[in-house]
Structure formats: C-alpha cells, structure tokens
Amino acid sequence: MPVNDISLIQDAIKATLRCDSKHIKSVKVTDRFEGKIAWKGTVEVFDLIDHPKAKRAYGWSYREWNKDKAKVVLGMHPVNSPQSAVKVAIASKARKS
C-alpha cells in the first residue's frame, strides 16, 4: 500500500474546503462489495480549523496519469468515519460514470 502524501491532502482540503486542517491519524480501510475488495488503502483523518459546518475531513492521495492527486471527503452526514468516507467516494464516482 503506498503511503499517503499528507501535505498534498492538506493542500486539497485548503483548496476545496477553504480552511486549514490538522492531521489526526491514519486508518487502514478495506471496503468490500459482494465479497470482493472494492477499495483498500489508508484514509487520513483531519480536524478542520474554522470550517463553518464540519469539524472533520477524510482523505487519501493516489496517482493518476503520472500525477499525484488527493481525494477529500467532508465529514458531514452520512460521513462519520474513514470507512463511510470511502463508501461515499465510491458511490460518487459510480454516479459520475
């Protein structure tokens, strides 16, 4: 499993959520669908600083087309854990396809 780039995720938080963040912890997540692994990786947990609606965000970095990118999921209902952040991100990607 590749290591997440914390600063890249924090830059994405600042750009998309318009606030600073503090890294809290790293959580290994394996999401299964119909008995198969749909996603496996480490989700970074951040406390948000002065965000108007949420106290937490979840994120991970990945490589796409030789470019490092970050996925950020805001910690608001229904997202309340690293596992639920992954599920919401997968569902969102499926809807866009």
Position 97 scores a pLDDT of 59
Judge contact between 61 and 11, C-beta under 8 A: no
Predicted confidence (pLDDT) per residue in 10-50, tens digit: 999 999 999 999 999 999 999 998 889 989 999 999 999 99
Give me the pLDDT at residue 94, please.
67
**What does the alpha-carbon distance between residue 45 and residue 24 come to, in Å, rounded to a whole number?**
5
Q: What are phi and psi of 75, to 5 degrees?
A: -85, 70
